[in-house]
Structure 1
Amino acid sequence: MATSTDRLQDSQSVHIIELPPDYSESAVSKTSAGSEYITEPPGPPEASSSSQEITRPLTMTRVSSSPATNFLTINRKNETVKGIYAINPTLPPPPGAVISKDNDGKDLNLSLKSTNGPVNCLVEIIKGVDTKGPARLHAESENGSVTLVIHDAQQNRFRLQAVSINGSVSIRIPSTYIGPISTMIKYGSLNIDTALRPKFQTISEIDEEGRFFLGDYISAGYENDETWLMDHIRVESHYGGVNIAFIEEDGGEKGKEASQKSFFSRLFG
């Protein structure tokens, strides 16, 4: 059973490693609701019936040595949720896994919650091809901030919801992100990093709700959330600000690696 890093020492280092080769043998595992999770060499990308699929170059660089897992739920009452979690949405659920669901009743590949503590995590999505739809991620704190880094070197699809009732929400996303970003901010402000602003389009801002698109929604084929099959981010903050930025990158692989290590050091204290 693959396990995730539940509690990390502050001194944990981040390593650049290569992904293993594709599986040579196929295996099918049954899951709840009669669905199947297939760990076989992926076929051609699925076609989109109502929105345009975006072809992106595939890279294989990882930023952590954390073992891959799927359908992971961490829910703490009076503790910080802090760590690096590698999620492979094509993996079957571990035996005895408690699978959380999103607001639409879909299984969450990762659910991180703290009642009285912050959530400070890096999430690495490591499946190779979008054979099973977007990775569904949820991070939430009732009384604490939420700081989240989504590293997606293979440029897979993901759907993220990040929520803080009494605290700020800070998200760093890949520079390859193309998709809608919606916000709900009751008492606080939205801060968009300067690197995002040339691509950040406002669709509407009405009272507490904001709707935006990062990238060119026309060339991306975006029509509405219901038919959109690609990346999507939803951020909610009741009493605190919202900050959205790209993952830090700096001049080539060595600079990029050093920048990532520096940022992770700040993230995990």
Structure 2
Amino acid sequence: MKVTGFSFIRNGVKFDFPIVEAIKSILPICDEFVVAVGKSEDDTLGLIQSIGSPKIKIIETVWDESLRQGGRVLADETNKAFQAISDDSDWCFYIQGDEVMHERDLPAIQAAMVEYKDDPRVQGLVFDHLNFYGSYDYIANSRHWHKREVRVVRKDKSISSYKDAVSFRRNGKKLNCKYVPATIHHYGWVKNPKIQLEKRKSFEKLWHDDNVVNGIFDNKDAFDYNLIDSVSRFSGSHPQVIEGRIKAVNWEFSFDPTVAPKLSFGKKLLNALYQKTGIHLGEFKNYNLV
């Protein structure tokens, strides 16, 4: 069985992406790893090269700035990395630049890859998705955050990244997947507030025109982490590869529910149901479970 990891990144240093930790977190169960490194305003290329693993294959890319609506350029870059994977790969393990897998979950993921390798019904594997927010000690816990996502797919030329790289489709249809009890640790919302503001300015331009983005962020010098309806304390353990970042935190996170966005009674009720039971009424899933 051959497993190839893949990812993409641009301005990884400037926006303090944990891309090195992301790659290292799944590298032990990958035979190869393809990284699409976009032309950057910093030494992102050198950062990826510094990992120093012979498994890593770097392809240098230029982001298509015309793909501005809906974050489509993110899927485009994902597809560039995916298409560069060798055809003899059985499974392709996708990890985004702000996602990290826990080392405790690698055996279960690897076992699932072996179990379903020759089962044509299974086109991908789905993992839990945990969204940290503002701090390594808190997670976003309302129902509109992704609960699970596809992160392992077959090497199939008819599979491609979907929308803003949130998931995958095969000939436009959802993949048939198996759920694996493993957790994606998403750290995209954990940064120094000043760096987070600059990252949000840049990324919002992948969805909106300059006037909209300027209207959102003008006259601000740091990201306001109170722009969320609900968080909860995280009581689990973090992946070992992220521990260095946790120790280096140089900001204080606080959440004031009195200034958080106000929800309607109905949404509050749905959130309470989700937080207490895990039931997400009306949940949209980017996959079919088989």
Larger Rg: 2
Higher percent of residues as strand? 1
Into which bin does the TM-score normalised by the smaller protein fall? Answer: under 0.3
Higher percent of residues as helix? 2
Normalising by structure 2, we get a TM-score of: 0.23
